Amino acid sequence: MWLDALGAEKNWAVLSGDAFRKRQGAERRLIRKHGITVFVLQPSWSSRRYWDKLSQLVLWWPKIVAQANAVEASTFEVPWPSSGRFRQI
């Protein structure tokens, strides 16, 4: 599985728009096992237009990089818009 490959390489963070929110499941266990940090886009991102998403992601990017470098093995929700704060999930 791709999470095993990332875990073997170390120091990875994942940005996702899907359901890493599930409390249980194979993906969640592998994320914990390998110490991968995950940033999950809040569900409201899915209803936005492509270019709006891209502009918000560019605004969020420095915060995402800083947070990824500051923590290990955490999962955060990225809210819409960029004026918000990460929420640990």
What per-residue confidence (pLDDT) applies to 84?
83
Provide the pLDDT for residue 23.
60
Q: What is the pLDDT of residue 24?
A: 66
Alpha-carbon torsion (23, 60, 16, 52), positive or negative: positive
Q: Which structural domain range is residue 12 located in? A: 2-88
Structural domain total, the chain: 1
- CA neighbours closer than 13 Å in the CB half-sphere of residue 5: 3
Instruction: Tell me the sheet residues that pair with 40.
Output: 16, 77
pLDDT tens, residue order, the chain (89 aa): 788 888 888 888 999 987 665 566 788 888 888 888 999 999 999 999 999 999 999 999 999 999 999 998 888 999 998 888 999 98
**pTM for the predicted model, two decimal places:** 0.86
> What are the DSSP E strand ranges found in 3-88?
13-16, 37-41, 75-78, 87-88
| Pair 7, 31: CB distance under 8 Å | no
